[in-house]
Amino acid sequence: MKPYKKQMLPIIIIMMLVGAITKLTIPLLIREAIDNSIIPKDKNLLFLIVGIMLTVYVIQWLANTFRIKYTNMIGQRVIYDLRHDLFSHIQKLSFRFFDTRPAGSVLVRVTNYVNSLQDLFTNGVVNLLIDVVQLCGIIIILLTFNFKLGASIIVTVPIMFLISTQLRKKIRRAWQDVTMKQSRLNAHLNECIQGIKVTQAYTQEKENIQFFNKMNMVNRLSWNRASMLNQSFGPLIEITGAVGYCILFWLGAHLIQTEEISVGLLVAFATYIGYFWEPITRLGQMYSQLLIAMASAERIFEFIDEEPTVAEIEGAKDLSSIQGNVKFENLVFEYEPGRPALKGINLDVQAGQSIALVGHTGSGKSTIMNLLCRFYDPNEGKILIDGQDIRHVTIQSLRSQIGVVLQDTFIFSGTIRDNIRFGRLDATNEEIELVAKAVHAHDFIMSLPAGYDTEVQERGNVLSMGQRQLISFARALLANPRVLILDEATASIDTDTELKIQEALKTLLAGRTSFIVAHRLSTIRNADKIVVLDHGRMMEIGNHDELMKEQKIYFGLIQAQYKFLQDAV
């Protein structure tokens, strides 16, 4: 338990006990007032009792105020910690985890589900404790002051619990269903917003709205069902409460006649019954909140329990500064069982060489890159960097020495400078400008309204494809990795930018081992080795001239590209 919770918990418990005891004292004072001052007409004693009552109410108010204040503080800290732990955990999870979960469903766990726990941690848990303490206190008092009357009232409680147990199970399942439907709705919403441009381009808005409405309706019906079940809880308690009052007055009247109890005690008992049903009713009302929270907690802990599939072995050592020799030995890999994406890849790359990976779509080019970065582990075989199996070194030391430039160059919201600095957080402004100049990005950055301080929104919507690429090159150059992975963008860009990108590429690749999923003929031509993949197998390897001479797959691919370019001209 964290230190702040240790410090505050005793205060909260003391305040809670003071609140509960003062509340339970009031009916006893009422009994005193009726039996010893109102009936015998003792005014002085009545004033004294009223004075004590007022003091008790003030103490109760103070205790409750402080308790609520401290409970809120502690609750907020718990939620803060939970959100932090969840986010940190998600950052570490492997690609496999995200392959099978829509972004929206991840999002909803960090936001909605954590929020629904907030109420539970701020007031819920403590209220629950207060209610339990109050209930126990009332039961003890009732049984002590008159066992016969007390027991006959209390007997209704287990009956009520028995009836409600069945109802609770149903309510629980109904709320679980609500959270599941909500999660689906959110996932769908997220996807629709991400893909809004495609939706509008294909004028699918109407269909989208219809589909969303269906999901929205399913969500509403599920909520209604859970809510209706929940509503039935209150009346059930009220009916049982009414039965309790009937027993009290029927038996109470009889006991007054036989002088076993006083009128004051009957009134005190009636007040206690009021208190008695109050926590039970509140428990019923809180029940839905508790169930939502429990269902949310289940889904949150599902994530927290999730272990990264790519894990470090015990005693993994840091990968010391590498030269950049990379060896793939008999790599076999499946994303899904029975569908191999790579079938026995063997490749020996010397430090400083550039390797172009070519092949039809789905042939396994990106998969090789994913394995080199250890986003996934191979089913068979291994990858060695400078003779060290990458599974035996720490993930951080491995990835920090491999630079990755993806086709989908992700630009984060923030300034251009921040986006380049992502490559190395301690880089100075001068270093940032230096790399931007080296990749020919400086001029276009300076032409933006605030130069390097221009704010770009998430995904860099204000920048062109080519500009985004140049920024990601600058980012990679700043990180200065020994091994570079580059997924070349396929989108056609204007000749001027194309030339800039070629120049930038030369700077970026110089002196590094590089793997490029190459689409541009110029990049492929300049590569030291070209690896041709087909359906997860390495079919050909050699430089451009060697492979052209062989006149096999590579030759065919190049011919097709030339034909395409000629037709385009």
Residues at the interface with ligand ATP (CB under 6 A) = 99, 335-336, 341, 359, 361-367
Q: Which is nearer to ligand ATP, 335 or 555 (CB)?
A: 335
Give me the half-sphere count of Cα atoms (radius 13 Å) on the Cβ side of residue 527.
Answer: 30
> Are residues 499 and 443 in contact, defined by beta-carbon separation less than 8 angstroms?
no
In 3D space, the residue among 395, 419, 417, 400 whose CA is nearest the CA of residue 409 turns out to be 419
Q: What is the Cα–Cα distance from 338 to 428, expressed in whole angstroms?
A: 49
Residue 558, CA distances (Å) to 513, 519, 520 in order: 24, 10, 10
Q: Which is nearer to ligand ATP, 273 or 533 (CB)?
A: 533
Strand partners, 529: 355
Q: Which is nearer to ligand ATP, 341 or 504 (CB)?
A: 341
Q: How near is the Cβ of 414 to ligand ATP at its closest, in Å? A: 28
Identify residue 459 by its one-letter amino acid code. Answer: R
Strand partners, 383: 328
Q: How near is the Cβ of 486 to ligand ATP at its closest, in Å? A: 13
Q: Which is nearer to ligand ATP, 235 or 362 (CB)?
A: 362
Q: What is the Cα–Cα distance from 439 to 500, expressed in whole angstroms?
A: 8
Q: Which is nearer to ligand ATP, 164 or 367 (CB)?
A: 367
Q: How near is the Cβ of 217 to ligand ATP at its closest, in Å? A: 32
Strands 402-405 and 483-487: parallel
Q: What is the Cα–Cα distance from 188 to 201, expressed in whole angstroms?
A: 19
Q: Which is nearer to ligand ATP, 315 or 337 (CB)?
A: 337
Q: How near is the Cβ of 536 to ligand ATP at its closest, in Å? A: 7
Q: Which is nearer to ligand ATP, 368 or 479 (CB)?
A: 368
Q: How near is the Cβ of 333 to ligand ATP at its closest, in Å? A: 9
Q: Which is nearer to ligand ATP, 364 or 460 (CB)?
A: 364
Q: Which is nearer to ligand ATP, 407 or 454 (CB)?
A: 407
Q: Which is nearer to ligand ATP, 71 or 367 (CB)?
A: 367
Tokens of 133: 């303490």
Q: Which is nearer to ligand ATP, 371 or 436 (CB)?
A: 371
Say how many C-beta atoms besides its own lie within 10 A of residue 23's C-beta: 21
Q: How near is the Cβ of 93 to ligand ATP at its closest, in Å? A: 14
Tokens of 320: 């010391």
In 3D space, the residue among 554, 529, 535, 552 whose CA is nearest the CA of residue 347 turns out to be 529
Q: How near is the Cβ of 361 to ligand ATP at its closest, in Å? A: 3
Q: Which is nearer to ligand ATP, 141 or 516 (CB)?
A: 516
> Are residues 364 and 538 in contact, defined by beta-carbon separation less than 8 angstroms?
no
Strand partners, 329: 382
Q: What is the Cα–Cα distance from 359 to 363, expressed in whole angstroms?
A: 6
Q: How near is the Cβ of 371 to ligand ATP at its closest, in Å? A: 10
Longest dimension (CA), the chain: 120
> Are residues 455 and 334 in contact, defined by beta-carbon separation less than 8 angstroms?
no
CA angle 47, 52, 57 (to 5 degrees): 125
Residue 247: exposed, middle, or buried by beta-carbon count in 10 A (0-12, 13-18, 19+)?
A: middle
> Are residues 300 and 113 in contact, defined by beta-carbon separation less than 8 angstroms?
yes
Q: Which is nearer to ligand ATP, 51 or 556 (CB)?
A: 556
Q: What is the Cα–Cα distance from 547 to 428, expressed in whole angstroms?
A: 44
Q: How near is the Cβ of 533 to ligand ATP at its closest, in Å? A: 6
SS (H, E, C) 278-328: HHHHHHHHHHHHHHHHHHHHHHHHHHHHCCCCCCCCCCCECCCCCCCCEEE
Q: What is the Cα–Cα distance from 397 to 321, expressed in whole angstroms?
A: 9
Q: How near is the Cβ of 366 to ligand ATP at its closest, in Å? A: 3
Torsion of CA 519, 525, 529, 535, to 10 degrees: 30
Q: How near is the Cβ of 11 to ligand ATP at its closest, in Å? A: 51
Q: How near is the Cβ of 407 to ligand ATP at its closest, in Å? A: 8
Torsion of CA 490, 491, 496, 498, to 10 degrees: -10
Q: How near is the Cβ of 367 to ligand ATP at its closest, in Å? A: 3
Q: What is the Cα–Cα distance from 77 to 93, expressed in whole angstroms?
A: 24
